[in-house]
Amino acid sequence: MAAQTSPDESDALTGTTVDVVVIGGGAAGLNGALMLARSRRSVVVIDSGAPRNAPAAAMHGFIVLDGTPPREILRRGREQVRAYGGRIVFGEVVSAAPDAVQAGGDPRFTVALADGRTVTARRVLVATGLRDELPEVPGLARHWGGSVVHCPYCHGWEVRDEPIGVLATGPASVHHAWLFRQLTDDLVYFTRGSELDRETRARFAARGIRVVEAAVSAVVDDESGALTGVRLDDGTVVERRVLAVATRMEVRTEGLDGLNLPVEELPDALGRRFASAMAGATEVPGVWVAGNATDPTAQVGAAAAAGALAGAHINAQLATADTDAALAAARGTTR
């Protein structure tokens, strides 16, 4: 293992074919790499340095690590992968595509980075995560990860008992309202042009959820920059300290067109994900996906577990391929 002076330094690429290249260095990618490296597989993790939870102060909902800053989790994860011989390479993938299949049907893939470096691998684990797309409300984006939240399980305890507003983005926002009502008695639902049926209105009323149907024009801050409310089109300001938004979740596909991975729409127009089967297997031989790239609602613990499962299945397939190659070689020498 190469010596490291900083967890943010990039390991060198040796130019040799590795067993697995992992595209994405978040919880899913690092845990998949950990499983593979512990199985004595040569593995390279390509990390673009843009984790989904970067704006968050801490990660929650994962026992033992609850409250840990996301950057610290990544630091520890990189350190552990490297301890077993795995390599962490920082860079942006610009292309990834199958290469010539080897004798016996063992595939090869070439991944190219923006700086011109390339790596060839026998298998690929895609763990690129996703991009949260916020509604275009002036002032909303600057509070993302702070006073603007999307997940009651990730951030709910931290905003409990605050005046919370739900900015509707689609049918999923009604479900959001039930979850955030569990956290506060002061909840306002801004419809933003979406329709609410009679039954939903009755249920809102029963739970004391106020409905505001006027159009939202902007988020309001105080002089210190703290979120204080929502301005409506008529100039009225509804005081709120926290806003909950169901984002559109778009899988990160940059540089991956050459893999021809199938992408499918999420229900209720919530976004898109890579389609996958058991353990993250895809219909593309030799390629797996894990984490938010295929399961957009997975928190850190679930994403890490998915990476571990994918890594185990990749190792098992490689073990079979190694045995097939060894048998073919042995039979060839006895003829």
DSSP symbols for 174-216: HHHHHHHHTT-S-EEEE-TT----HHHHHHHHHTT-EEE-SPE
| Residue 44 located in a structural domain | yes
pLDDT of residue 101: 73
Q: Structurally, how many domains does the chain consist of?
A: 2
Question: How would you write the pLDDT of the chain (335 residues) with one tens digit per residue?
Answer: 444 446 678 999 988 999 999 999 999 999 999 999 999 999 999 999 888 888 888 999 999 999 999 999 999 999 999 999 999 999 999 999 999 777 678 899 999 999 999 999 999 999 999 999 999 999 999 999 999 999 999 999 999 999 999 999 999 999 999 999 999 999 999 999 999 999 999 999 999 999 999 999 999 999 999 999 999 999 999 999 999 999 999 999 999 999 999 999 999 889 999 999 999 999 999 999 999 999 999 999 999 999 999 999 999 999 999 999 999 989 887 65
| Residue 311 located in a structural domain | yes
Does 116 lie in the same domain as 83?
yes
| Residue 9 located in a structural domain | no
pLDDT of residue 9: 85
Does 186 lie in the same domain as 160?
yes
Does 267 lie in the same domain as 232?
no
Does 279 lie in the same domain as 328?
yes
pLDDT of residue 103: 66
| Residue 89 located in a structural domain | yes
Out of 196, 213, 245, pick the residue that ends a domain. Answer: 245
Strand, helix or coil at 322? helix
Does 269 lie in the same domain as 223?
no
Does 93 lie in the same domain as 121?
yes
Out of 212, 245, 278, pick the residue that ends a domain. Answer: 245
Does 217 lie in the same domain as 256?
no
pLDDT of residue 269: 86
| Residue 152 located in a structural domain | yes
The pTM of this model reads 0.93
Strand, helix or coil at 138? coil
Number of H helices, E strands in the chain: 6, 19
pLDDT of residue 52: 87
pLDDT of residue 6: 61
Does 253 lie in the same domain as 240?
no
In angstroms, the CA 77 to CA 31 distance is: 8
pLDDT of residue 15: 87
Does 152 lie in the same domain as 68?
no
Does 225 lie in the same domain as 147?
yes
pLDDT of residue 38: 98
Q: Is 252 exposed, middle or buried (0-12, 13-18, 19+ CB in 10 A)?
A: buried
Note down the domain range covering 152.
Answer: 135-245
| Residue 4 located in a structural domain | no
Dihedral sign, CA of 44, 58, 139, 194? positive
| Residue 320 located in a structural domain | yes
pLDDT of residue 334: 63
pLDDT of residue 1: 40
Out of 245, 280, 314, pick the residue that ends a domain. Answer: 245
Does 161 lie in the same domain as 146?
yes
Q: Is 7 exposed, middle or buried (0-12, 13-18, 19+ CB in 10 A)?
A: middle
Does 127 lie in the same domain as 270?
yes
CATH number at residue 264: 3.50.50.60
| Residue 12 located in a structural domain | no
